[in-house]
Amino acid sequence: MTPDDICANLESVKADITKAALDAGRKGNDVSLIAVSKAFPAEHIRPALLAGHRCFGENRVQEAAAKWPALRKEFEDIELHLIGPLQTNKAEDAVVLFDVIHSVDRPKLAAKLANAMEKRDRRPDCLVQVNTGDEAQKAGVAPGEVMSFVGQCQEEFGLPVKGLMCIPPASDYPAPHFALLAKLADKLSLPMVSMGMSSDYEMACQLGATHVRVGSAIFGDRPSI
Ligand SMILES: *Cc1c(COP(=O)(O)O)cnc(C)c1O
């Protein structure tokens, strides 16, 4: 991908998002694009920043710590989202590095995040990850437990829970998962709904996403690790 390719992809994904939202009777700017830059070095991210994009996603704390502090010095108003699983021993680093944490999914992590927020005097928005497919191996809270877990995060730990996030099973048609996540968020009066990736972000926009997480459609195929 050349810098021009990355900028062209970014523009076309943004146009698709606006169109999908309008088609669904929503406002064109109802959905924010999180450009997922995981596995790509700063040279690939800088063209998007120079084009004015400010909202990015990373799935690993260590990788984000290596790339983003320097980019934050170069560009103002960056909004960085942690979209990958978070280990409790990285909770404090995550609180310092990220503006939004999408993967809160267990009481032990919620407690660590609450402590880290207190200690570092920073309160990134938190999303609760929902395992909409009830997959045994997948992170996230089971749909039936979302209400009680969100309540626990807010009341017991005082976490700023602002929404829900899901990654549907790869083998399923994603629409029912997206519809379920939007319904749960609505029931809980949570404003943020994080769902949809390169292959299905338009569908997610139509089904109520407020944030889509798009990587390869912008930056190309990720270098394998
Ligand atoms: C990598 C990743 C994405 C982006 O995936 P693409 O298919 O490249 O758009 C979105 N969400 C999560 C949680 C991811 O880990």
Residue by residue, DSSP assigns 70-101 as HHHHHSSS-EEEE-S---GGGHHHHHHH-SEE
Residues 6+ positions from 4 with CB-CB distance below 8 Å: 47
Number of domains the chain contains: 1
Provide the domain limits for residue 131.
3-218
Tokens 């880290």 belong to: 116
Q: Is 225 within the bounds of a domain?
A: no
Q: Is 184 within the bounds of a domain?
A: yes
Q: Is 60 within the bounds of a domain?
A: yes
Q: Is the pTM for the entire model greater than 0.95?
A: yes
The reply to whether ligand 1 has any atom less than 6 angstroms from the CB of 209 is no
Q: Is 91 within the bounds of a domain?
A: yes
Question: pLDDT tens for residues 130-158?
Answer: 999 999 989 999 999 999 999 999 999 99
Q: Is 36 within the bounds of a domain?
A: yes
- CATH number of the structural domain spanning residue 214: 3.20.20.10
Q: Is 7 within the bounds of a domain?
A: yes
The reply to whether ligand 1 has any atom less than 6 angstroms from the CB of 214 is yes
On average, the pLDDT of the chain sits at: 97
The residue among 213, 185, 216 whose CA lies nearest residue 201 is 213
Q: Is 224 within the bounds of a domain?
A: no
Question: pLDDT tens for residues 83-107?
Answer: 999 999 999 999 999 999 999 999 9
Q: Which of 83, 135, 178, 222 to mutate to test the pocket of ligand 1 (most atoms within 8 A of CB)?
A: 83
Q: Write down the pLDDT at residue 225.
A: 58
